Every structure is written in C-alpha cells, then in structure tokens.
Structure 1
Amino acid sequence: MGNSRIEQIIEEIEDYIDTCKGTLLSSGEKIIVNRERIEELLRELRMKTPEEIKRYQRVLANKDAIMEDAQQKAQAIIAQANIQNQELINEHEIMQQAYEQANQVIDTATSQAQEILDNATRDANEIRLGAIQYTDELLANLQDMMQRMVETSNLRYEAMMNNFQDFYNVIVSNRAELNPQQPQQETAQPEETQETQE
C-alpha cells in the first residue's frame, strides 16, 4: 500500500520548510514562511486526518476479520488433518488387528493340520500294527490247524498201515494152512511187500 494522504501532506510541509529562507539574525533556527501556504497545508491535514483514521480503522477491522478468517481456516485445516490422522491411525490399527487375526488363523490352522496329521499317522500305525498282529494270529491258528491235521493224518496213516499189515498177515497165514510146503517163502514175501510199500 502506498503512502497515505496525511504522510504526503507532512512531506509537503517538510519540503516547504526546507525551501523557506531563514532570518538574518537567527543562524538558521528561524525561517520566514508563507502563512497562507502553511495554513492551507495544516487545514488539509486536519481534514484528511479523520478520513485517514477511519480508513486505518477499516483496514484494522479488515485485518482482524482476515486474521479471524485465517485462524478459522487454519483451525479447520488442523481439525481436518487431525481427523485424517485419526482415520489413518484407526486404519493402521484395523490393518494391524486384521494382520494379527490372520496370523492367529494361520497358526490355528497349522496347529490343527499338524494335529490331524499326527493323529492320522498314529491311527495308521495302530491299524498297521493291528493288521500285522491279526494276520500273525490267523497264520498261527492256521499253522496249529495244519500241524494237527498232519499229526492226525500220520496217526491215521499209521493205523491204516497196521490194519493192512494185520490183514496181510492173516492172508499169508491162511495160504500157509492151504499149502504147508511153502511157508517160509510166503512168509518172506510180506516183509518185502511191506518194505516196498514203505
């Protein structure tokens, strides 16, 4: 903003005084002025002073209004910044909570999966051992049964062979009675036959 009219009038008075001539005996401390010119400048100064004061008051009022408006805008900006900052903090907290929850879910799922795998492995081992034990029991029973069958078959075979031998001896005895001349020859034949059968 340029100089006010009051400042201009004061500068004109100063310039006018500088151009005035001093008195002969004053050593430059006193000057001769044109009264009308000085009165004119002072009159204009008196007239402009209230107007300038009002103008300054308006400027000051506008300045206060501008400052108040600026403060309100600054406060609004600060409030908005605080809101945004709080939103960012809330979003960060939400993201942090979501991240922690995701980690918890992953940890829980991993633990459950490991537990399921361990249980499945244990069950499979138990089933495998049970199957081996069951199969071994079946084979043991089969072995016992086969052993009994073999023993029974041997006993039956031995009894049958004894019966055959007795029957054969009866036949030989009967033939010997029919033909007493060849008892030794006939008696020897069963032994050879028995050895052959064995």
Structure 2
Amino acid sequence: MKNVFRKGSVLILGVLAFAQSARAAERTLTVLCEGSIESRPEKAVVVLNFSGYGWNAAKAQAKADEAIAAFLKKISENSVSVSSVALAEIKFKPSYQFNRDLKTQVASDFIVSRKVRLELENVPAVAKLLDASLSIGSFALDSAVLSVKDIKDLSRRAFENALEEGKLKAEAMARAFGAKLGPILSVEEVSGAVQDTDLIDEAGSSTVKATVKIRIIFQIL
C-alpha cells in the first residue's frame, strides 16, 4: 500500500508540474503591426491599347498589327530607349447588323484590340513615347505608372520595418504588464501591397510605397 501511495504521489506531482509548464507556455502576447517604406521611382510602365477595324477578323487584326509595328518603329526613330516590350492577347469584337433575308443579326465588321506593355528605365522618356503613339493613332492609353525595378526587395524592407515596429510595441506592452518579453513564436503576414505612382491620376504620389501588415506572437516570460 505504501509503494502504491508513492507511485501515486509521483504521478500527481508529475501532472502538476506538467500543468504548470503548460500554463507558462500559454502566456503569449500577440501584436498586429504595420511597416512601410517609400522609394524614388526607377522605371516607367506604360500600357497602350491599339485597335484595328476590318470587314473580317483577319483584316482587323492586320490593321492593329500594322499600327503596333508603326508605333514601335516610331519610338526607335525618336531614340526612345525601351527596356521591355510585351504584347497581350488579341481581343475580337464583332459589330452586328440586321439581315433582312436571314431575318437575324449578322456580323458586319470587326474591331481587334491588343495591348502593348512597355517598360522604360529613363522615366522622362515617357513623354516622347506618348508623342510617338499620338503620331500613329488608333490607340488608347490604358495605364502609365512609375515603379521600382525590384518590387520584392521593397516589400521585404517594409516587412522588416513592420517586424521591428512589432518588437518595440510588444516590449512596451510587456513592461506595462510587469512581464518580460520572450522569443517570437510565430509571424504571419496579414496583407501587403506596393503602390506605384500613377501618371494619369493628378493626386498620385511622387514616390513608390510598399506597405506590409503582420501578426506576431511572442512568448511572455
């Protein structure tokens, strides 16, 4: 009976020790913080939408392609240095007219549109690029923004700022509760975004800004 009691005592003490350890491990502090960083623009990204009309899809596509080729030739003649050119997928849109013989709507002609995305490291050259497009016609300005060359690096630095801000915030909160801040248990990125400078929007910023919001869980000692 005595031996059984001793075994039971060891078991009870072990459970109590485990419970105390579990309660200590449950002492955590969660902070939600945001970090941001701004950078001067390093490149321009312009997207133009060229279109062509024709009585069939092939004719319309040929006219759109001719306009794009003429535009690219023009910017070359104007010594506009473009670091990257990308063509988007072709989009077809038919126009319809009522056919009296068939008594239904039939396609009468087509409009074909295609976007051209251009990157320029020489930001002031955007004006010369747009002048070249005006001389060609058959286009619409889809977007024009200023950005940075390495968006991931800018986001990473914003994340580091958020992490540092979170540590300072957690230390202040721990001191307020008379506790000591322990190690980081987990870090979760809640949201992140990079805001380019919009050349079309007059209210646009003159810098490129990256913002990251994170959730950090600290252990409290």
TM-score per shorter chain, which class? under 0.3
Question: Given the two structures, how large is their TM-score scaled by the length of structure 1?
Answer: 0.23
Instruction: Determine which structure has greater relative contact order: mean sequence separation of CA pairs < 8 Å that are 6+ residues apart, divided by chain length.
Output: 2
